[in-house]
Chain A
Amino acid sequence: MVDTVLFIICAIVAIVCGFNVVLQRHPISSALSLIGVMSSLAVLYLLLGAEFIAMAQMIVYGGAVMVLFTFVIMLLNAGTEKASSKSWFAQIAGLPLLLAFVGVLAFLIRAVLPPLAAVAFGSWVGGTAEHIGQLLFTTYLLPFEVISVLILIAILGAVALAQKEID
């Protein structure tokens, strides 16, 4: 009961915020709407029993990534976007093409993905930190380590670029 109510609230918030990201004129408003999407997604994960993923979502996406976004927007002091004069093609064919795209996407998802069983809130217990840690260090050890090397390379690249700026 509470699960369903929470699900409906958070799903609505996620969708409204998602539209808001595109519709808002000001970059800060868009960024904050994106934070709304991230946070409500975290609650949805939590409802499904994926505690660790929910918290990671908040820490990494809601916190680190989006703070960086807002920080850069504030630092550059980006103003409100001006509406560009729309081309005649976008004005006429925009909405039909968008609907067609959504239709194709929905069709593909239905055709390719296997049919899913109904979701029961809280029935899944594989989302604790212990389970995920165990999986990361046994089944998915190689991808995990490869990703860490990849991130290390990215860090070294960033340091090298910053060094060039300073010299």
Chain B
Amino acid sequence: MNFIVISLIKIVIVFAVFMTTLAYLQWVERKVLAHIQSRTGPLRVGPHGLLQPMADVVKLLTKEDLLPPYVNRFFYVLAPFLAVSLALISIAIIPFGPEVEVHGIRTNMQISDLNVGILLVLAISAVSVYGNALAGWSSNNKYSLMGGLRSSAQMISYELPLTLAIVSPLLLANHLSFRAIGDSQAGYYLGFIPRWNIFQMPFPQIFGFILFMIAAFAETNRVPFDLPEAENELVAGFHTEYSSMKFASFFMSEYANMITITSVASVLFLGAWHPLFPAPYSNWVPTIVFLFAAIVCFFQAAQPRRRRDNITFPIFGIVFLVLAAIWAVPFLQTFLVPAWWFASKVGFLLFTYIWVRGTLPRFRYDQLMKFAWTFLFPCTLLNLLITALLVAVF
């Protein structure tokens, strides 16, 4: 009974945070892209466009749900459902922190710890091709079909380097469960270099990490590998014919996949919830960061550049001060600080995703395939070979 109650609480928390991140990731993306391109981005709905995600949700929910007469009904409806449900599964096995104790109840900061955790992520990503492929095929539209076919071909090709890049950190951790992989990266060399897998002896996985991220970009169909929805060639690719909630499902699944794959990357390579430097100091990093943010807000409020900046910025400043205070409470620190470090790693990787989208052009299709098979695949194989040899020797 206890187990069920705790699991339910954990599921509710993870789901709420996941969904909020999902909605606001899109706001962050639009803001960051806008600033890269010297624009301001969403600004009208709420202060600095902060209510834009809500407005988008209302818009998508209330739009007419078109069912074109020429589609294959069953698969047309099944595809977005499949895409979004598969995209939401993998977060269940991501660890956000160590084992914590609250009122004598010990529990992992993770919904469920599987013995074969990493294999489940691979299995889900192998099956999630069907959402895109079916959407493209059932729409009965040649642009959609091209998009669906490109998407499945791309995902099959890039799954190979992705899997091979994952194997090297597994060799270092000697386990398949995410919790064990996270635990194996605790501690520091010489007291200050973290034992994250990108610094882990005998062979630092920095190349493996870069190769993994490249393959992950392709696996989630993002720029520069967003061939399946290249709008100047394929209208909108596999989701051209979709509207309303069905379109929103594809949208959600794309962002959910991004969050999942960056979480996997931070567990496998960036030391999961372990901070960048040893414990007594690193516990105060969140507080300092939030305090700094609050100071910036108050400074901005003192010299307002837009109308109402003198009202909104102090409010943000107070929010940041409260956050700083929460992260300074010793009891809350035991589980909030690891979660903060985990979130900051995932946030950094997600920012990289948006950054790359703002700066790189799209690949051509033949370049994409050639890159996967003639460059990425041999590189990951070489990385795996060297890691295996060094792990065997030392």
Contacts and interface: CB of A to CB of B under 8 A. Distances in A.
Nearest to B119: A55
A129 B114 CA distance: 12
A59 B156 contact: no
A128 interface: yes
Interface residues of B, number: 24
B133 interface: yes
B351 interface: no
B152 interface: yes
B115 interface: yes
Contacts of A143: none
Interface residues of A, number: 24
Contacts of B119: 52, 55-56, 59, 129
B123 A28 contact: no
B133 A59 contact: no
A12 to B, nearest CB: 19
A67 B120 contact: no
A54 B123 CA distance: 10
Nearest to A75: B149
B115 A74 contact: no
B379 interface: no
B148 interface: yes
A130 B13 CA distance: 33
Contacts of B114: 51
A74 B116 contact: no
Given A63-B127, A129-B119, 15 more contacts: A28-B134, A32-B130, A35-B127, A42-B123, A51-B116, A56-B119, A58-B127, A59-B122, A59-B126, A63-B126, A63-B159, A71-B133, A71-B156, A74-B148, A129-B116
Interface of A: 28, 32, 35, 39, 42, 51-52, 54-56, 58-59, 62-64, 67-68, 70-71, 74-75, 77, 128-129
8 contacts: A51-B116, A52-B119, A62-B123, A63-B126, A71-B133, A71-B149, A74-B148, A128-B115
- List 6 A-B pairs, minimum CB-CB distance, nearest first: A63-B126, A58-B123, A55-B119, A51-B116, A74-B137, A59-B123
